[in-house]
Amino acid sequence: MNVTIFAVSPRTLRITVAAIDETVDAYYDDGSLVSRRYSVALHQQRADLPAEPADKKWGEHVLRIETNPLRVSVSHPQRGVIQTLAFHPDNNEVLFDYGDGPIYGLGPGTHPLDRRGSKDAMRNGAGDDLRIFGARNPIPWLMGKGWGLYFHLPTGQFDLSGEAGVWRPSDVARAQDIFLMVGESTAELLREYAELTGYPHLPARWTFGFQQSHRTLESRQQILEEARTFRDKRLPCDAVIYLGTGFCPSGWNTGHGSFVFNEKVFPDPEEIVREFHALHFKVVLHVVNPPETLHGSVSDSGTAAAMSGDAANYWEQHEPFVRMGVDGWWPDEGDVLPTPSRLVRNRMYWEGGRKTRPDRRPFALHRNCYAGIQRWGWVWSGDTNSTWRTLGTQIMEGINAGLNGVPYWGTDIGGFVPTPEFTAELFVRWFQFGAFCPSFRCHGRTWQLRRPWGWDTGSYGPSEMGPNATAFLPHGDDLHNTAVEPICRKFLETRYRLLPYIYSAAYETHRTGLPIIRSLGMRFPEDEKAWATVDAYLFGPGLLVAPIYERGATGRTLDLPAGLWWDYWTKQQIKGGRTVTLSAALDSLPVLVKAGAIVSTGPVKQYAEEPLTEPVTLTVYPGDDGDFTFYDDDGISFAYERGDFEEIAMHWNNASRRLTLHSGKGLRKQPRRFKVQLAGGNERMIEVGAKPVEVTLD
């Protein structure tokens, strides 16, 4: 056996252990890695023969390679040994060190957040705890204090219950292909992971708006009236989503997985899509039953493209809908797909959409994913229960998704499966949480209760829960609740005001690999309580969100990290470094802002691209220095790849009370007007052009 070590970057090593003359890349092309050419090996030797330990310089680090048995360790002159891999082929094991901190990873749907002490069979799909924690999407990625590990196939199992971590590959005959990363911060490790598996795509702006899902449909008139109701009530919304027949009696298509419109509700689909677009709604369709041997690429041609399981062949069934104007897809099912096929599906919707409509960024919300999904699509957490416990776990799963390199994530607001706990209160608290997730989308059985006005109609509509539904779904007296719609309106409007901030955060994600939902520990790495917090998170660089997830609660406690904080709603100051109690009546959600943050907000829009002329407001929260990068482009096309975007770097100097703004990358050089203010202070107008601008705020 040979051990070969490549320096992928100054912070990432590729370690392969393979038979002599065995070519690892020949059978490890699962699609998860960004294509690259590897340089000459940093080190290569027989791994099964006795030899003196070899030390190799790797930038600031030192590698030590010992053989028979094989051990590879990485150390730093100041930080000591960072990670050691020990290979035990007789036991079919690779051991690795934990270090002295928590461990994160193994993909969305895991629990608890800190994986130390757990065992994971890495099975894709539902899992025993689907209804509580969401769908399981295994990714063999782990991250600890100062190190990260990506086990690039074969699949296998992890045992993190002992003094050292154990990886047991499922195919003992194949080589090992492991990527070892080092970094002083979680942000550095996630950047290395993005360098390896791809930086997140930049979604269209409308995808960060509200999306309303529909299940059982009655008629053409109904689906258009639902859309018009949003506009008549002036409740912001960007997309309508239609479930397929097979999961409900009457969906958008004629059968389970078919690509034929249901004439009862879409008798003239081109005209209906046109009417939705005239109302400024995007249309998203739910699809199932992908080929179980999905392979290839949308660019395949000839004999390859003619095969039923080829991506080019499968995408061809979608193309007429995209040309008609369908704006996005919701690929459901697919739990049985092998890892490469999952990624082929993820990639197909992005590259296929771009091929068919080159001027539009595609959108697809996936149930299944793997390392690399961030390049092409979004993920939702699966078919969860409508319970308070599930709401609490989804907060943790949002944090977990980000630590696993899956930044564009969300849940079914209200939970998918109604239970006796599905009340207006639970729906409202989940809606508030959803307003501060990357994906803001209502979906679930008894779908008419998922509308902002659904709890004040006197009826819950089709339950889709069978004859026993009346035993636990709301009674008539509970369906005249006038409080729900105003609360939903408040958080819809808050979300749309925050779109300039959220879109700038998405650009940061696209550029750095940092997630939008971030563990508090990422910002406060020396604070153990911050790392242990699983029910509050940073939303983008400056906002701290602490959802309410207990029935009847009108407040909650939080171990608030050190420093000065501001209440987003009241602009009151709160001192950190202690346990605080935050009040939150049913119409409120605790949201804090870190001192030094610069938060960009805009006017309330009814849809993300509504053309309003009011300038963006920059609110500075004093008490510390801070930085923010404001980003803008046309929100829909790929012109940003050609430099047609605007990037403005901002710095707040707290001592001098001075805000400095200067244009950065990008070709868009027209002056940009902003309103600027200190939190709770008066606004003033400024204009930023090619030259830096400084403004003193009192």
Structural domains in the chain? 2-197 (2.60.40.1760), 205-503 (3.20.20.80), 506-586 (2.60.40.1180), 615-696 (2.60.40.1180)
Rg of the chain over Cα atoms, rounded to whole angstroms, equals: 26
**pLDDT band at residue 426, thresholds of 50, 70 and 90?**
very high
- Rounded to two decimals, the pTM is 0.96
From residue 203, alpha-carbon distances to 191, 283, 504 in Å are 19, 16, 11
> Helix, strand, coil proportions of the chain in percent (round to 5)?
25, 30, 50
148-157, 286-295, 342-351, 596-605: lowest mean pLDDT where? 148-157
- Give dist(CA 34, CA 37) in Å, integer: 10
Q: Write the DSSP assignment of 122-179 as a string of letters.
A: ---B--TTHHHH--B----EEEETTEEEEE-SS-EEEE-SSSSEEEEES-TTSPEEEE
Beta strands across the sheet bearing 71-76 = 54-58, 61-66, 71-76, 80-88, 93-96, 165-169, 156-159, 119-120
Nearest to 166 by CA among 95, 102, 99, 104: 95
Residue 46 φ/ψ region, left for φ over 0, alpha for ψ in the -120 to 50 degree band, beta for the rest: beta
Rounded-to-integer distance, Cα 594 and Cα 618, Å: 15
User: Based on the number of CB atoms within 10 Å of its own CB, is 50 exposed (0-12), middle (13-18) or buried (19 or more)?
Assistant: exposed
What is the residue-averaged pLDDT of the chain? 94
In 3-state terms, what secondary structure has residue 63? strand
pLDDT at 52: 84
Residue 64: pLDDT band with limits 50, 70, 90? very high
Span 181-189, mean pLDDT?
96
Question: What are the distances in angstroms from CA 163 to CA 88, 96, 118, 566?
Answer: 16, 10, 12, 42
* pLDDT tens digits along 207-234: 999 999 999 999 999 999 999 999 999 9
436-441-446-447 Cα dihedral, nearest 10 degrees: 130
Spatial distance between the Cα atoms of 651 and 653, rounded to a whole number of angstroms: 6
Q: Give the burial class of 613: count Cβ atoms within 10 A of its Cβ; 0-12 exposed, 13-18 middle, 19 or more buried.
A: exposed
Per residue in 443-462, pLDDT (tens digit) is 999 999 999 999 999 999 99
Q: What's the rounded mean pLDDT across residues 605-620? A: 96
Greater model confidence, 371 or 667: 371
CA dihedral 361, 367, 371, 373 (to 10 degrees): 0
Stretch 43-70: mean pLDDT, rounded? 88
- 460 to 292, 415, 601: CA distances (angstroms): 37, 15, 35
Q: What is the pLDDT of residue 29?
A: 74
Distance CA 72, CA 178 (A): 11
